[in-house]
Structure 1
Amino acid sequence: MLKRPVFVYTELSPNPNSMKFVLNFELVPEGLSFDYPSLESTLEEGSGSPLAGDLFQFPHVKRVFIASNFITISKGDDIAWEEVLRDTKQFIKIYFEENQPVFFEKTIEKNTLIVDSRDSDTVQKIKAALDQYVRPAVESDGGAINFHSFNEDTGTVKVLLQGSCSGCPSSTLTLKAGIENLLTRMVPDVKEVVAEGV
């Protein structure tokens, strides 16, 4: 059996503890993302990932995020990327050369940005703005943003930040200076944007 050509390159992210491992093929359909904050989360029914589970076997791996054509790995403060980058990259390359699965067969693909016909007009506008203007920039940094909820009374939008954005020192600034400014300009009902579960 022929091995497929697998190319992996790395990109730094704004979070010094996160590294983006980019592949030459798509891992999940555009707009979908999967965040694994622990080994246990890689086994959850409907969203499990043997790839993420295997990555957690490395002691330096603290979080795994999979989206588009990349895997963002977050490490602890106690080790430098220089010490573990080569082995991690090599593992990913071999994993895909051997055609190992990214997800368990029953993993449900879910995208919280998809506009639902039951969404209010305001929520539809918020989701569209996040999808069109915010998601590409956040993905280029190795993370993802998903709509969580909108409170009509207070004008507060809650979003989920994943991947390199989770625990990143600059994510709060990006959230307030970038995303909040954009949404309050584009959707007048929005007064504030807050991150859920960061």
Structure 2
Amino acid sequence: MFIQTETTPNPNVLKFLPGRDVATAGVQEFLSIDAASVSPLAEALFQLEGVRGVFFGADYVSVTRHPDFDWTGIKAPVLAAIMDHFVSGAPLMRGEAPEAEGHAADDSEVVAEIKALLDSRVRPAVAQDGGDILFDTFDPETGVLSLRMRGACAGCPSSSATLKAGVEQMMKHYVPEVTRVEQVL
């Protein structure tokens, strides 16, 4: 098995591509070993010194390192853990995966339009960088759209620029009710 690695705009995150499907039931993010207990792979990665976060995309695993650690010391053990997991044939998740964000029946027309735009244009683009963006809230009175960044996008130095120059401009263009986009931490 050959696993490719890609850098991301976030210097603390590397994207690992095992050449097969990873999160077929929807993306998953783990920010602690306790949260990772539902996934054998995430749990194994958190047991490595210097791993701070794990994100499963459709066909990749993004790993966030603690800033005090260098990739030269972490990359080989991360590759080994990912390879061992996929070679073993173990499932990605123990039991059922947590529910992925979806479209609620009670979403307003504007919120449904925002979510559709996120799903069709924004999320595929940020997935290429090893991350994800989720809808959080929309205030119809002020036009403020709040989004949550995950994976490589969370804590990325260029995430503010991505939100303002990319996502905010696109949302304002396609959904005139949106006046501003903010990141929820």
TM-score, length-normalised on structure 1?
A: 0.88
Equivalence for 1:164: 152
Return the match for 1:148 from 136, 154, 177: 136
Deviation at 1:116, TM superposition (A): 2.6
Match of 2:100 among 111, 120, 131: 111
Q: 1:129 aligns with which of 117, 127, 138?
A: 117
**Structure 2: how far apart are the matches of 1:72 and 1:9?**
12
Give the number of aligned pairs.
185
Q: Give unpaired runs (5+ residues) of structure 1.
A: 1-5
Is 2:11 the partner of 1:16? Answer: yes
Which one of the candidate residues 35, 41, 53 is aligned to 1:51? 41
CA distance in 1, matches of 2:36, 2:76: 23
Report whether the alignment pairs 1:93 with 2:93: no
* Superposed displacement of residue 160, structure 1: 1.2
Alpha-carbon distance in 1 for matches of 2:73, 2:16:
16
Other structure's SS at 1:7 match: coil
Q: How many Å separate the matches in 1 of 2:43 and 2:76?
A: 19
Aligned-residue offset at 1:80 = 1.6
Q: Give structure 1 regions of 4+ aligned residues with deviation exceeding 2 angstroms.
A: 114-117
Q: Percent identity?
A: 34
Instruction: Tell me if 1:28 matches 2:16.
Output: no
SS of the residue corresponding to residue 127 of structure 2 reads helix
| Aligned equivalents of 2:48, 2:90: Cα separation in 1 | 17
SS in 1 for 2:166: helix
SS of the residue 2:168 aligns to: helix
Are the counterparts in 1 of residues 143 and 177 from structure 2 also a CA contact under 8 Å?
Answer: yes
Q: Does 1:82 align with 2:76?
A: no
- Check the 8 A contact 2:41/2:81 in 1, yes or no: no
Q: Mind listing any 5+ residue stretches in structure 2 that lack a counterpart? A: none
Deviation at 1:150, TM superposition (A): 0.9
Alpha-carbon distance between aligned partners in 2 of 1:94 and 1:12, rounded to the nearest angstrom:
22
